[in-house]
A and B are shown apart, each in its own frame.
Chain A
């Protein structure tokens, strides 16, 4: 099989995230991803994956490949994306996270509603858990759990002081088993923005970095993206691309 260039945005929220707009339903997300020329997306809600399957279904027959993800929050307050080929694997991680979340219910009046929907966006039910919270598990444990569920662990927006691995923990934890990290660069950033970021966090020099939109609104989808050269669109191929093995590769940012 030949290698192809794949445009990807691996960090998109749906209406299951309390902070996402109500327009973030599967059908519209796929439509917007397709319009903005994305080949692959991952749906990553806060500490939950209940809408991932619906997004995969909604993408059937479209040009967009959907991976199932979760944006989990560690005990330290660090966000890590877990990216999976199948919704079931993401749900396996979800079970673990839910066993470690605080017992309090969500307060929609403060944090927003958390809606489980079907592929067309029809409302199924509210998720009443407090999803905007830390799971009682270290960042290392989350990474390990993601690996055990055959997922790809990617620390999210690492340079942010709000929930970014480097912002919160200052340094990359020794031996953390992640193939790449997501950096936050505002839309329109250039090579200079990235160079400056690498001065602030020198460890970014040696880490594989990707960009994603962290979209909470439709128009944000694909505004930040990364490019990989892969044979097919899967977690296994992504890992090869991040590692630069078997001809697969990740393009430098900016």
Chain B
């Protein structure tokens, strides 16, 4: 079982990183339990854990399906990749939180690490 030092409140994370909530899904009091970064959806399906934030440049509709399937706490779409209205709407319908940022996946992960979302030694 992967242990993390700190869990992060999604709302605080979004504020700190200035993330845009493109789905308009209520982040509420959801806590992120960790982070997974990958642009291969098949990899995320196999490796990500429930409650984690998923960092990616993919913005295809299947991202929503995979995030819902894996019960991820949120998806952060990097590099200001376009999110089609249908994707945002589906995310809202599925209760998936979709954030977007101009930052790169590297920068996002660096900031999340600094916030304490990291694996315990």
- Whether B15 sits at the interface, judged by CB under 8 Å, is no
Q: Is there an interface contact between A161 and B40, defined as CB atoms closer than 8 Å? A: yes
Contact A168 B61 (CB under 8 A): no
Contact pick for B42, options A77, A168, A173, A174, CB 8 Å: A168
Known: A171-B65, A171-B66. A166 touches B42 (CB 8 A): yes
CA distance A169 to B61 in the complex (A): 9
0/1 interface trace, chain A 163-176, chain B, CB 8 Å (1 if under): 00011111101100
Query: Which residues from chain B contact A142 at a C-beta distance below 8 Å?
Result: none
A173–B62 contact, CB under 8 A? Answer: yes
**Binary flags per residue of A141-184, CB closer than 8 Å to B gives 1, else 0:** 00000000000000000000100001111110110000000000
Contact check: which of A138, A161, A166, A167 meets B60 at CB < 8 Å?
A138
- Report the minimal beta-carbon distance from B45 to chain A, rounded to whole angstroms: 5
Q: Are B60 and A169 in touch, CB under 8 angstroms?
A: yes
Q: How far is the CB of A109 from chain B (nearest CB, A)?
A: 27
Measured CA separation A138–B84 after assembly (Å): 10
Interchain CB contact under 8 A, A169 and B43: no
> Which residues of B sit under 8 angstroms from A139, Cβ to Cβ?
60
A173 touches B60 (CB 8 A): yes
Taking the closest CB of chain A, its distance from the CB of B108, in whole angstroms, is 19
A161 CB contacts on chain B under 8 angstroms: 40, 42-43
How many A residues are at the interface, by size bracket?
10 to 19
Give the docked Cα–Cα distance between A171 and B84 (Å): 18
Docked-complex contact B66 and A76, CB < 8 angstroms: no
A170 touches B61 (CB 8 A): no
> Quick check: is B44 within 8 A (CB to CB) of the other chain?
yes
Q: Is A76 within 8 A of B42, CB to CB?
A: no
Residue of B nearest to A170 (CB): B41
Task: Determine if A170 and B44 form an interchain contact, defined as CB atoms under 8 angstroms apart.
Answer: yes
B66 / chain A contacts, CB cutoff of 8 Å: 170-171
For residue B102, give the distance in angstroms from its CB to the closest CB of chain A.
Answer: 17
* Contact call A170/B45, Cβ cutoff below 8 A: yes
| Contact (Cβ within 8 A) A173 B40 | no
Q: Which residues in A have their C-beta under 8 angstroms from that of B61?
A: 173-174
Tell me the residues in window 51-98 of chain B with beta carbons closer than 8 Å to chain A beta carbons: 58, 60-62, 65-66, 84
How distant is the Cα of A170 from the Cα of B47 in the complex, in angstroms? 12
Residue on B nearest A168 in the bound complex, by CB? B40
Among A76, A166, A174, the residue within 8 A (CB) of B58 is: A76
Interface residue B12 (Cβ < 8 Å from any Cβ of A): no
Q: Which residues of B contact A170 (CB under 8 A)?
A: 40-42, 44-45, 62, 65-66
The yes or no answer to B26 lying at the interface (CB within 8 A) is: no
Q: Does B107 contact A (CB under 8 A)?
A: no
In the bound complex, what is the Cα–Cα distance between A166 and B41 (angstroms)? 8
Q: Which of B42, B44, B66 has most chain A Cβ within 10 Å?
A: B42
| 31-45 of chain B: CB within 8 A of chain A | 39-45
Instruction: Give the interface of B toward A (CB within 8 A).
Output: 39-45, 58, 60-62, 65-66, 84
24 A–B pairs (Cβ distance < 8 Å), ordered by A? A76-B60, A77-B39, A138-B60, A138-B84, A139-B60, A167-B40, A167-B42, A168-B39, A168-B40, A168-B41, A168-B42, A169-B42, A169-B58, A169-B60, A170-B42, A170-B45, A170-B66, A171-B41, A171-B65, A171-B66, A173-B60, A173-B61, A173-B62, A174-B61
